[in-house]
Amino acid sequence: MDHCYLVVGLGSMGKRRVRDLKALSAGRIIGVDSRPDRLAEVTDRFGIETADDFEAALKEKPRMVFVSLPPHLHHRFCTAALDAGAAYFVECLTTVTMADMEDLIARDRKEPGRAFPSVTTFSNEYCRYAADKVQQAGKVYAIHASLATWLPNQHPWENEMGIHYEFHRDQGGGLAEPAFLLSWVCGTLGRRPVNVVAYAGHVSELPPGFNDLLDMIIEFEGGMILNLHYTLCEKQDWSLGIFTRISCDHGTILCKQQECRFYDWQKQAWDHCKVADDWTYETIYLEEMRHVLASLDGKIKYQGSLENERSALATLLAAEESSRTGQRVVIG
């Protein structure tokens, strides 16, 4: 009998999850959403079953629930999945409060192997290359990262500005993208952040209610420094959206958008990441789902962890406190 999977939330990320699960022939897929237009769209595009009632869908005894909802809803649906005997996959930001995060960690410690926080960044071929080079490049001294976009361009299909959760801090707005990077740094380096000094604010003409600018200087265990600039109010084409430089004892790793290379100090030469000719940005999400399913089957170790997600959230909350108080804040 085919395994059953629920995809809850059929916005852009939920539809990606449905598409990739179908491509991987995962099994029976049920899409869940309260919006009739989204249910009709996935039925037409993917030919899957749909439901507008999550509790009713849980009665189908899914193997895993994919939670593709705004972050403030994650804890509720992840715990419901666990209570129904299912595993869960959850998009970043895993939760918006430390209390909810600690609850998920406690549950995972009691019944391990059912929590799968997003590993989108780990599934990016360029990030994999950078992670491999970090292991070869000796001591990491510092990381400088810039994540920049114009928020209205992220979801231009919404019928009015402000619908997407990123416009609302209480839903997790302004936190998810930095959390992706922080989780990757924690997982790749095996270090935890210890303190942060930051500025967070709303500086643009975008609707108020969230921080559209966040600058952080974060100290990690061992003295490494991460300087992270994040903005949702930069008007440019996507080619300038991501820039990361990792300074190491044996050279420098440079990543910008869809390019990554390593300057080998000993060889005095650049080594470039090479990807398949048919690689696209969407390949990341397909590989992520492949990794999730293989981990769920026990074939490989899952790359993500709730501990990494906890470190990311704790850092972001401490950064907001630092901005409010004007003080460096120890990360709990």
Residues 281-298 have a mean pLDDT of 96
In this structure, what DSSP letter does residue 264 have? E
Contact 312, 71 (CB under 8 A): no
CA–CA dist 119, 309 (Å, integer)? 10
In this structure, what DSSP letter does residue 63 have? S
Please state, in angstroms and as integers, the Cα–Cα distance from residue 251 to each residue in 172, 236, 244, 270, following that order. Answer: 36, 30, 14, 10
Structure tokens of 246?
């990792």
Structure tokens of 168?
């609302």
% pLDDT > 70, the chain: 98
Structure tokens of 101?
């995060």
Q: Tell me the whole-structure pTM to 2 decimals.
A: 0.95
| Secondary structure element (H or E) that encloses residue 115, with its range | strand 115-117
CA–CA dist 233, 236 (Å, integer)? 9
Residue 124 clears pLDDT 80, i.e. is over it: yes
Which range has the worst mean pLDDT, 40-49, 274-283, 323-332? 274-283
Query: What is the residue-averaged pLDDT of the chain?
Result: 95
Structure tokens of 42?
């996935």
pLDDT score of 276: 87
Residues 128-138 have a mean pLDDT of 95
Residues 171-198 have a mean pLDDT of 96
Nearby residues of 227 by Cβ (< 8 Å), 6 or more positions away: 142, 143, 144, 145, 216, 217, 218
The single-letter code of the amino acid at 154 is Q
Which CATH code of 3.40.50.2000, 3.30.360.10, 3.40.50.1100, 2.40.50.100 fits the domain covering 122-265+305-330?
3.30.360.10
Contact 168, 161 (CB under 8 A): no
Confidence of residue 154 (pLDDT cuts 50, 70, 90): confident
Residue 79 clears pLDDT 70, i.e. is over it: yes
pLDDT score of 153: 86
Residue 155 clears pLDDT 90, i.e. is over it: no
CA–CA dist 182, 231 (Å, integer)? 15
| Secondary structure element (H or E) that encloses residue 51, with its range | strand 49-51
| Secondary structure element (H or E) that encloses residue 108, with its range | helix 98-110
CA-based nearest residue to 193, from 310, 47, 68 = 310
- Residue of 62 and 159 predicted with greater confidence: 62
pLDDT, tens only, 88-97: 999 999 999 9
Residue 140 clears pLDDT 80, i.e. is over it: yes
% pLDDT > 90, the chain: 89
Residue 191 clears pLDDT 80, i.e. is over it: yes
CA–CA dist 196, 201 (Å, integer)? 16
Confidence of residue 241 (pLDDT cuts 50, 70, 90): confident
CA-based nearest residue to 94, from 112, 111, 114, 70 = 70
In this structure, what DSSP letter does residue 102 have? H
Residue 301 clears pLDDT 80, i.e. is over it: yes
| Secondary structure element (H or E) that encloses residue 50, with its range | strand 49-51
Please state, in angstroms and as integers, the Cα–Cα distance from residue 211 to each residue in 72, 116, 162, following that order. Answer: 16, 28, 13
Residue 244 clears pLDDT 70, i.e. is over it: yes
CA–CA dist 64, 4 (Å, integer)? 7
Confidence of residue 161 (pLDDT cuts 50, 70, 90): low
Q: Which CATH class is domain 4-117?
A: alpha beta
Domain boundaries, the chain: 4-117, 122-265+305-330
DSSP string of 141-165? EEEEEEEE-BGGGTSTTSSSTT-SG
Contact 223, 143 (CB under 8 A): no
Confidence of residue 164 (pLDDT cuts 50, 70, 90): confident
